[in-house]
Structure 1
Amino acid sequence: MQTNRKQVTIAMLIATFLAAIEVTIVSTAMPRIASELGGLQFISWVFAAYLLTSTVTTPIFGKLADLYGRKVVFTVGAALFLLGSMLSGLSSSMHQLIWFRALQGLGAGGIMPTTFTIIGDIFPYEQRAKVQGWFSSIWGLSGLVGPLVGGFLVDYVSWRWIFYINLPFGLVSVIMLWIFLREEGDSRERKIDYLGVLTFSIAVASILFALSTGGTVYSWGSAIIIGLFLVGILFLLIFIWVEFKAEEPMLPLELFKIPSILVSNLAALLSSGILIALNVYLPLWVQGVHGRGATGSGLTLLPMSIGWPIGATLGGRLMLKVGPRKTAVLGLILILAGNVSLAFISQTTPDWVLSVIMLIIGFGFGFSMTVYTVIVQSSVGWNLRGAATASNTFLRSLGQTIGVAVFGTLFNHYMKVFMMGHAEVKNINVSDLNRLLDPHNIGQIPSSVMKTMREALVYGLHHIFLILVGIAVLALLFVFRLPSSKPEAVAVSKDLKEA
């Protein structure tokens, strides 16, 4: 039986939607969950546990998909994700929920790269860009639907159903994949790079844990954070040595000798850093500087979720006409233009201007991110496509994780610099910012203090936006190195041809 592209695509769209909606739907329910389970101080770990395990396992599952086939690995990932979902719904304490979310993240690390890899397998280059645009639309749709579905379930059913709802859809996706996807057999002897998996997991987990807790749970100069970074760097060096020696490396480092893959991954890393900064700091501007509520900040970000899928769809078509390089350059120019605009906004800038800026940036991400995925998938053959796709997914997650840590540290630094120059606020801790800027506290805090704190906030955010401009310029310089034509035309190293 031949592969039924339509049915397989539907199955992968369902799986992608489940993984994409997980973040937004859980965010909506967390206040109710914390109220029922207790442990309000551990809320951030509900998200961090999921991010940590999914990021670590993404490249591992990507390589396993090359060794054992897409269906088997996808099924394993889906099984872990659904088991984690069911147990999360049954959680009776915040600690249990954190552990079960980590299990859910393990599964997500298998679902996402394998999903994109399967699409890369069943569609030729000429159709790949268009289909990837559909998948980008799913991410945009999840940003719109997630809060609505989460709010409905929390208010009228139970927060536990935000996890249970994954079960029937996940099972349908797996069943459809086994029925409609046909994979060619592979008679090669399979050798798993266990040492590579172990050293990679320790290295990435240590670094991500340090980035996630540094400056919040622990100070950056504390022994535990320094120790985690040292362990991470040590095992990263060991991992690189192991991969050069391994007969079947977990992450073939030769992939990064292919210019199109190297450039796409670096651009994706930088772009993801910009993305997380916008999601974190633009709402802070809307709420802290303009004095709007959470709904107002969400509406300001909404145009990006609309522009992204439209840009991805248009970018897929444009890529076939003008080539991947020009399409990605256009995307980065739009991202750069949006961030330059943010660098010049003031306290009097209307909210609708911010919405227009985010729409432009959304178009930019749609154009560029689609190109990165298609190029990486199209630069290698079947036996390396899983690892190549996973490398791109991994670096996107890494970019967001690093971005959260770096931008958080820089923002606090700039805030402190400003506040030290103003006597009325120099003894106030930056962590008290939310309390000071809460509209309910107006009248309880001297107006001079409130005004100065808002000025400090503007000062800190403007510096963040200026840094984003620099990162966008750097990413733009990278994408000028992308191929101007179909990626298959890029020369592949001898080692990779023999793999």
Structure 2
Amino acid sequence: MLNQTKNNRLGLIMLAIFISTFMTSVETTIITTALPTIISDLNGLAFQSWVFAAYLLTTALSTPVYGKIADRFGRKIVYTIGLVLFTSGSMLCGLADNIFTLIVFRAIQGLGAGAIMPITFTIIADLFTYEKRSNMLALNNTSWGISALLGPIIGGFIVDQLDWHWVFFINVPLGIAVLLIIALGYHEKKHSAEKVAMDYKGILTLSVLLIFTLLVFQGLGETKVDALSISAELVVIGVLGYWFVKTEKKAIDPIIPLRLFHNRIFTIQILTALLLSGIQIGFQTYFPMWLQSIYKASASIAGLAVTPSPVLWLVASFFVGTLVKKYPPKQIAIPIITIQLLFYIPLVLANVNFPQFLFYVIAGVTGIALGIVITMNTLISQQVVPETNLGTASSMLTLGRTLGQTIATGIFGLIFNLIINNKIKQNSNISLKQVNGYISHGINHHDPTLIKNLNDIVLSGMHAVFWFVIFLFLIVIILNISDKNQNPIK
């Protein structure tokens, strides 16, 4: 009877975690469909990128802080704060009557998401043994997979049948339900707060570093390339990074305990997740663009090119528990990433006759590979740190994935724009406006020579992007080869 009650309680908590993961992950996909209507209604075209950037910035900034607070004061209080902020931020976004208030309220949503995403991993680690944890992480991945598939569909339905405000209002009843479940059903072990002052200097330094890094890399793909300003910005990032490390070494209770990174296995897991997340955002961004421009596919059909990934991600993640019991991390990561690399090599050689179905195959392989490796990264990074640093470890993995996607987005955009601009200079008959129109709409034209030239220009940009993706794969493989551990992590 007691076991049945305990299982029911665990099931209820997992349901709450599932719903909260769905809420925060669907928020990044559902708004994509609704954004054109929102921008039109609020006259906010000039500030549309900030609707995403505000959410991303505050999520990244708050993630390490919440991880540290969770280790000191407990998971429940941090999770509750995150749910309140996310739910109230969603309500306020739905009530926004101009683009500036929407951006501010999106920032509040991000502050909530910054707590919810890493703390879900931490609560799972607290509630389940290492043997069962991988299946629970895989189960939680299903909510992410469902949100990736249904987000755009739900967003389109809401905009067509209701009103864009309901894109945000839909989170409110879900958030309240999760709050009630956590308040009544989740009982954690008591955490005794250490009598040590918070590392406010570290928090401030890290915040400035992250803000500057995110803004610089997000702007790389959007602005006109200026080698001098980019070099200066990278120098500033380096100086801020050095200052942060120096600050953390002096701190009594640092916001990010640098000693965690003395553990080679932990460091490799975080960096692997960071780099693979960069690869993930690359195929998610450029596969639809490739299909739309070169194959004249509609936006909805082009978007389907990435759907095999979340489906196979969640299926593959259920095999992680069995694999980590039998093999050391590098013996799992290296073969899988090598296979993924082999599937990406044809992309740097592809011409206009490249079979369209192969994009779906590559997306599926990507889902299987990342589903196994990134779930393993989460599991192993939690297992190899002291229990007192569990929240910090989970937040480091979440932050690493966010930074990986943000930095890679900027670098991909920079590479793509550099190649496109260089090709346009070589062909005086084609303008940047024509290329932009071709990429956005895949427009047909009666002049076969113009179409051929536009195809060549776009393909050159795509090839360059995926050459960089291959470079990232090689770094990940070398990184995992450097892992000296020869035993499964138990």
Query: 1:118 and 2:155 equivalent?
Result: no
Contact 1:2 1:182 in 2 (8 A): no
- The 10-residue stretch of structure 1 (174-183 or 300-309) with the greater mean CA deviation from structure 2: 174-183
What is residue 424 of structure 2 aligned with on the other side?
419
1:98-117 CA distance string (max 9 Å, x none): 11111111111111111111
Which of 42, 64, 80 is residue 59 of structure 1 equivalent to?
Answer: 64
Which of 73, 83, 92 is residue 87 of structure 1 equivalent to?
Answer: 92
What is residue 497 of structure 1 aligned with on the other side?
none
Which of 325, 328, 333 is residue 328 of structure 1 equivalent to?
Answer: 333
What is residue 496 of structure 1 aligned with on the other side?
none
Change (3 A) 1:432 1:45: farther
**How many Å separate the matches in 2 of 1:354 and 1:136?**
23
**How many Å separate the matches in 1 of 2:244 and 2:70?**
20
Contact 2:293 2:443 in 1 (8 A): no
**How many Å separate the matches in 2 of 1:6 and 1:164?**
26
- Tell me by how many angstroms 1:478 deviates: 1.9
Change (3 A) 1:343 1:172: same
1:314-355 CA distance string (max 9 Å, x none): 233333333433322343123212212323332112221211
Q: Which amino acid aligns with 1:199?
A: T
1:41-79 CA distance string (max 9 Å, x none): 322211111111111111111111101100001111111
Which of 4, 28, 32 is residue 33 of structure 2 equivalent to?
Answer: 28
**How many Å separate the matches in 1 of 2:345 and 2:82?**
40
Change (3 A) 1:432 1:409: farther
Q: Which amino acid aligns with 1:469?
A: I
What is residue 300 of structure 1 aligned with on the other side?
305
Contact 2:292 2:442 in 1 (8 A): no
Aligned partner of residue 487 in structure 1, secondary structure: coil
- Tell me by how many angstroms 1:149 deviates: 1.3
1:406-440 CA distance string (max 9 Å, x none): 11111111223333333423xx22x6523145558
Q: Which amino acid aligns with 1:278?
A: F
- Tell me by how many angstroms 1:17 deviates: 0.7
Query: 1:98 and 2:99 equivalent?
Result: no
Q: Which amino acid aligns with 1:192?
A: M
Change (3 A) 1:156 1:267: same
Change (3 A) 1:146 1:439: closer
**How many Å separate the matches in 1 of 2:15 and 2:267?**
30
Which of 201, 204, 213 is residue 207 of structure 2 equivalent to?
Answer: 201
Aligned partner of residue 292 in structure 1, secondary structure: coil
Q: Which amino acid aligns with 2:119?
A: T
Q: Which amino acid aligns with 2:144?
A: W
**How many Å separate the matches in 1 of 2:137 and 2:463?**
34
Contact 1:437 1:450 in 2 (8 A): no
What is residue 436 of structure 2 aligned with on the other side?
434
Change (3 A) 1:117 1:438: closer
What is residue 82 of structure 2 aligned with on the other side?
77
Q: Note the 1:84-483 alignment, pairs <5 A.
A: 84-187=89-192, 188-217=194-223, 220=226, 229=234, 231-425=236-430, 428-429=431-432, 432-437=434-439, 441-443=443-445, 446-482=447-483, 483=485
Contact 1:260 1:487 in 2 (8 A): no
Change (3 A) 1:412 1:480: same
**How many Å separate the matches in 1 of 2:401 and 2:395?**
10
Q: Which amino acid aligns with 1:143?
A: A
Contact 1:287 1:293 in 2 (8 A): yes
Change (3 A) 1:473 1:230: closer
1:226-275 CA distance string (max 9 Å, x none): 77655544333222111111111100011100111100111111111111
TM-score (ref. length: structure 1)? 0.91
Q: Which amino acid aligns with 2:437?
A: R
Aligned partner of residue 307 in structure 2, secondary structure: helix
1:209-236 CA distance string (max 9 Å, x none): 122223525654576x777655544333
- Tell me by how many angstroms 1:397 deviates: 0.6
**How many Å separate the matches in 2 of 1:227 and 1:102?**
28
Q: Percent identity?
A: 33
What is residue 8 of structure 1 aligned with on the other side?
13
TM-score (ref. length: structure 2)? 0.93
Contact 2:273 2:400 in 1 (8 A): yes
**How many Å separate the matches in 2 of 1:125 and 1:341?**
39
Query: 1:487 and 2:464 equivalent?
Result: no
Change (3 A) 1:94 1:218: farther
Contact 1:203 1:233 in 2 (8 A): no
**How many Å separate the matches in 1 of 2:203 and 2:440?**
46
**How many Å separate the matches in 2 of 1:438 and 1:192?**
48
- The 10-residue stretch of structure 1 (237-246 or 63-72) with the greater mean CA deviation from structure 2: 237-246
- Tell me by how many angstroms 1:457 deviates: 0.7
Aligned partner of residue 471 in structure 1, secondary structure: helix
**How many Å separate the matches in 2 of 1:304 and 1:297?**
14
Aligned partner of residue 352 in structure 2, secondary structure: coil
- The 10-residue stretch of structure 1 (416-425 or 17-26) with the greater mean CA deviation from structure 2: 416-425
CA RMSD, aligned part only? 2.2
Change (3 A) 1:333 1:228: closer
**How many Å separate the matches in 1 of 2:219 and 2:310?**
29
Q: Which amino acid aligns with 1:139?
A: W
- The 10-residue stretch of structure 1 (245-254 or 35-44) with the greater mean CA deviation from structure 2: 35-44
- Tell me by how many angstroms 1:10 deviates: 1.5
**How many Å separate the matches in 1 of 2:234 and 2:471?**
26
Gaps of 5+ in 1: 489-499
**How many Å separate the matches in 2 of 1:95 and 1:40?**
12
Change (3 A) 1:279 1:215: closer
**How many Å separate the matches in 2 of 1:9 and 1:77?**
17
Contact 2:261 2:267 in 1 (8 A): yes
Contact 2:220 2:413 in 1 (8 A): no
- Tell me by how many angstroms 1:150 deviates: 1.2
Aligned partner of residue 266 in structure 2, secondary structure: helix
The count of aligned residue pairs is 483
